[in-house]
Amino acid sequence: MPTKGLFSQSACLLTDGRTTIDQVKRALDREGYPALKEVSGAEDWCISGPSIVLEYLPEVNGFVSVDVVNHPWPDAMGDPKSDPTTFAAWGTSNFGPFAFPGGLSRACQNAWGWDDATKAVDAHRGFIRFRMSYAFGLPKNAPCLPKDYDPRAEVNFLSELVLAAFRAPGVLCYFNPNGEVLLDYAGFRNMWNGCVEQDQVPLPLWMNVRFYNLNDEFGLMDTVGNDQLDIKDVEAFFPNSEYDPNDVANYLRNVTLYLLDAEREIKSDEAFDGPGETNLSWIVQCLDNGLISPPRHVLRLCPKTARRQIDKAIARAAK
């Protein structure tokens, strides 16, 4: 299962392929994020294009590398035989600690509320990559994360950088490969501003909620990207005739927030409140993998009364 290693967080802006590192540097500097240094691109673009390094928490070796790659996002993530270079870069988290093949395609399919998402993705020819790390320049066996590690503070800081770099010429949209989220500038800005005003975690900027029909009778909604905040993703299976998907989407966000503040591990077969309910009518299972890619640890929730039928439907779908 993917984990945080050299990079603890990442985000991207897709571009038209003409954006330069100097343009990104100026956009960030105007918003109060000056570059500490500039670094030439690596021989392999998968590892790094021309980049700058920004301070995050220098007292614990926390920095952000921002590079510009004028090459389309490699959604297949390479192949050990036909494209071993890209495959190796993916395996070492250079495209994000929780990026998985097909993530950009799935993000297009689940870009709710943005009709032009696919058009923007089809038009992109490059990307700006933000990668946060505490391991730049450290000895090989040094801890990858600091003692008082705070993933919420990280995603907030990267959100600020993304919003600033959106102003660079050639930027088309935001893409988070770890949570498979796509947003245009207005969508990102409005969500960020709303979360800041209400002192909320910007979940929709970092974790997507997806909807699938398990069969004619049951629906599935899940989150993807909760690993960025060091918590499990959540799946909800439900009878389509009894639950509104919008209510279930809000429910998944609320469960995520509950997990963020929970002081204990949730265990399988615990009773749980369902969407808009307070009668512990649902039940939870802790699983090593969800039903839909990408692979990740999940909490699976469903109504107690429908569990047997849902388990049968899941078994058929898994075949």
Is residue 1, in this structure, part of any structural domain at all? no
Going from the first residue of the chain to its last (319 residues), give the mean pLDDT of each consecutive group of 10, the final group possibly shorter: 88 98 98 96 95 96 97 97 97 97 97 94 98 86 86 96 98 98 97 94 96 94 98 97 96 96 92 93 96 96 96 87
What DSSP state is assigned to residue 284? E
Q: Are residues 32 and 147 in the same domain?
A: yes
Nearest of 303, 28, 312 to residue 161 by alpha carbon: 28
Q: Are residues 167 and 266 in the same domain?
A: no
Please report whether residue 90 resides in a domain.
yes
Q: Please indicate, yes or no, if residue 3 is contained in any of the structural domains.
A: no
Clarify whether residues 218 and 302 are in a common domain: yes
Q: How far apart are CA 98 and CA 210, in angstroms?
A: 17
Let me know whether 185 and 43 are in one domain. yes
State which of 162, 197, 232 marks the end of a domain: 197
Tell whether 165 and 240 lie within a shared domain.
Answer: no
Q: Is residue 2 a part of any domain in this protein?
A: no
Give residue-wise pLDDT tens across range 117-166: 999 999 999 999 999 999 988 777 777 899 999 999 999 999 999 999 99
Q: Looking at the structure, tell me whether residues 49 and 87 fall in a common domain.
A: yes
Q: Where in the sequence is the domain holding 297, given as residue range(s)?
A: 207-318
- Pick the closest to residue 218 from 117, 99, 314 (CA basis): 314
Give the domain-ending residue among 197, 221, 246: 197
Q: Which residues pair with 54 in a beta bridge?
A: 64
Helix (H), strand (E) at residue 118: helix 117-123
Q: Is residue 243 part of a domain?
A: yes
Domain membership of residue 157 (yes or no) is: yes
Q: What is the pLDDT of residue 137?
A: 82
Are 161 and 71 within one domain?
A: yes
Domain count within the chain: 2
Query: What does the pLDDT look like over 27-56, one tens digit per residue?
Result: 999 999 999 999 998 999 999 999 999 999
Backbone angles phi, psi at 20, to 5 degrees: -110, 160
**3-class secondary structure, 130:** strand
Is 79 in the same domain as 171?
A: yes
Q: Are 28 and 54 in contact (CB under 8 A)?
A: yes
Q: What is the per-residue burial (b if ≥16 Cβ within 10 Å, else e) of 4-16?
A: beebbbbbbbbbe
- Same-domain status, 148 and 247: no
- Judge whether 159 lies within some domain: yes
Q: Please name which of 298, 71, 86, 75 lies closest in space to residue 207, comparing C-alpha atoms.
A: 298
Segment (H or E) for 237: strand 233-239
DSSP 177-193: TTTTEEE-HHHHHHHHH
Whether 266 is covered by a domain: the verdict is yes
Domain boundary among 197, 221, 250: 197
Nearest residue to 41 (alpha-carbon basis) of 12, 23, 68: 68
Contacts of 260 (CB under 8 A, 6+ apart): 152, 201, 229, 231
Q: What is the pTM of this model?
A: 0.95
**Residues 56 and 190 both lie in one domain:** yes
Length of the chain: 319
> Do 52 and 165 have their domain in common?
yes
Tokens for 241, please give them: 């005739």
Verify that 93 and 160 share a domain, yes or no.
yes
What are the Cα distances from residue 181, in Å, to 50, 83, 141, 237, 315?
Answer: 25, 26, 33, 22, 28
Quote the pLDDT of residue 1: 67
